Chain A
Amino acid sequence: AQKITQTQPGMFVQEKEAVTLDCTYDTSDPSYGLFWYKQPSSGEMIFLIYQGSYDQQNATEGRYSLNFQKARKSANLVISASQLGDSAMYFCAMREGSGGYQKVTFGTGTKLQVIP
């Protein structure tokens, strides 16, 4: 079974609108972390946001928020007020375990295109 599933290969959003990128995960470990990374066409991987499995509140970082639904094992990324510069690939990732073990599994990504 896939540990990280991103079901949307590509999405379009109008500039200034909000968009949700889906991510579901599969783990039996009670301690885990969820990440989102952005990869623009230039190729670098940019860390956006993190959610720990024991965090009570959804993580937010500026225009990015993570809609964490633990029972449903989903960790969707919400981008508010989309900008042209948000056009990129977005990867969801999960780190399982604690105690400093940091092996991370990445999803296949969603390509977001922001339309002017």
Chain B
Amino acid sequence: DARVTQTPRHKVTEMGQEVTMRCQPILGHNTVFWYRQTMMQGLELLAYFRNRAPLDDSGMPKDRFSAEMPDATLATLKIQPSEPRDSAVYFCASGLPGLSTDTQYFGPGTRLTVL
């Protein structure tokens, strides 16, 4: 059963610390998305990649957030320095354009708490 995996599942850190979240997309999927979910803002797209190249990162605060895909099996989202307002659930999703459903499949999320 192919799934998107994310680590860590939970992260508690102090303001100012660096946070790195990792995602392993479903094997063969060439598009990876990072979303942030909060009660106030709902689900927001932060960035997405196609074939490891960033296509859209307009939803991401550039001064502290960065997203990369070092290889086809790993996507990372970094926050440096972290702030309390970054507390949220961060989801990674993967997909494969051209499939009839064009569906994104989500990972379980990383729940980040910044104190």
A contacts, CB < 8 Å to B: 33, 35, 37, 43-47, 50, 52, 91, 95, 99-109
Classify the interface of chain B: helix, strand, loop or mixed. strand
B89 near A43 with CB under 8 A, answer yes
- B34 within 8 A of partner (CB): no
Q: How far is the CB of A86 from chain B (nearest CB, A)?
A: 18
Q: Which residues of A contact B33 (CB under 8 A)?
A: 102, 104
Q: How far is the CB of B15 from chain A (nearest CB, A)?
A: 24
Q: Which residues of A contact B42 (CB under 8 A)?
A: 106-109
Q: How far is the CB of A1 from chain B (nearest CB, A)?
A: 16
Interface size on B, residues (CB 8 A): 25
| Chain A residue nearest in CB terms to B56 | A103
Q: Which residues of B contact A107 (CB under 8 A)?
A: 42
A45 near B45 with CB under 8 A, answer no
A103-B48, A106-B42 known; A95 vs B111 contact (CB < 8 Å):
no
Q: Which residues of A contact B108 (CB under 8 A)?
A: 43-44
